[in-house]
Amino acid sequence: MGFRRHGPFQVGDQVQLTDPKNKRHTITLKEDGVFHTHKGAIPHSDLIGQPEGSVVRSANGTQYLAFRHLLQDYTLSMPRGAAVIYPKDAAQIVGMADIFPGARVIEAGVGSGALTCFLLRAVGAEGKVISYERRQEFADVAKKNVEKFFGGEMDSWRLVVGDLNDSIDEGDVDRIILDMLAPWECVESAAKALTPGGVICVYVATTTQMSKTVEALREHGSFTEPHAWETLVRDWHVEGLAVRPDHRMIGHTGFLVSARRMADGVTPPPRRRRPKGTTEEL
């Protein structure tokens, strides 16, 4: 089974209802289902057969705008076993790690399955995502979340309960994504699995983890100079000529570190650094 549906709403679809105050509710459509709210009930039958972007009314006349929810909305509302990777970071991973259709991707630290959904959509039906998770309870939550979003089992996904270092048996992998407490412990396994030119991308929460990961990649000798960064998201309020940044923003959620696998036997060129006190390149 698979990917996002198009066309009118059907039984089994997950639909996001947005009220006039922009409060959102996600429901799964059932033949005889009813969405109950303090603003009145909405029978699911009022939605089934309607196109996306329709407006439905509750029993007391409150209007709700109906769409199939986006992946970013789903990941923020999904049941959690472990913390999820926020959509802003998942988007950076898909883009900056160059996850492409048909890619073979290893993910270690599946958490609640949020990033897994982004990866599966990016690799498409011809790609493959292999997810490693040490804890059975997290793997169970992730499996339910992924299958709920895609509507069933995914042929392009394999979930392995176990430690990456002990269980990995893949080679010539295009991309490796690590989301774990001590990713530097998996650098050797990642190097063995990645094809030359492949990308490793690591998600960590603290500067200490980021520093240890960067140094481990440098010391291993099989990777290009690591690139470390974070993203900050700030919404804007726009009402006519009243244009200003919102008072709240999504600040730090995590750091990302990426590097590329070099060919076997290649020594990375020495890094050039600017001498202290000057801006002139060596």
Tell whether residue 114 is among the known ligand binding residues.
yes
Tell whether residue 264 is among the known ligand binding residues.
no
Tell whether residue 235 is among the known ligand binding residues.
no
CB atoms < 10 A from the CB of 226, how many? 18
- Cα–Cα dist 164/170, whole Å: 11
User: Using DSSP, how many helices (H) and how many strands (E) does the chain show?
Assistant: 7, 15
Q: Minimal CA–CA distance to 145: which of 118, 180, 105, 107? A: 118
**What is the C-alpha end-to-end distance of the chain, expressed in Å?**
55
Tell whether residue 265 is among the known ligand binding residues.
no
Cα–Cα distances in angstroms (integers) from residue 70 to residues 14, 75, 78, 161, 205, in the given order: 10, 9, 12, 28, 25
- Cα–Cα dist 178/163, whole Å: 12
Hunting for tokens 């922009």 — which residue is that?
A: 22
CB atoms < 10 A from the CB of 63, how many? 13
Tell whether residue 163 is among the known ligand binding residues.
yes
As annotated, the binding site includes 112-115, 133, 163, 179
Give the residue ranges of the annotated binding site for S-adenosyl-L-methionine. Answer: 112-115, 133, 163, 179
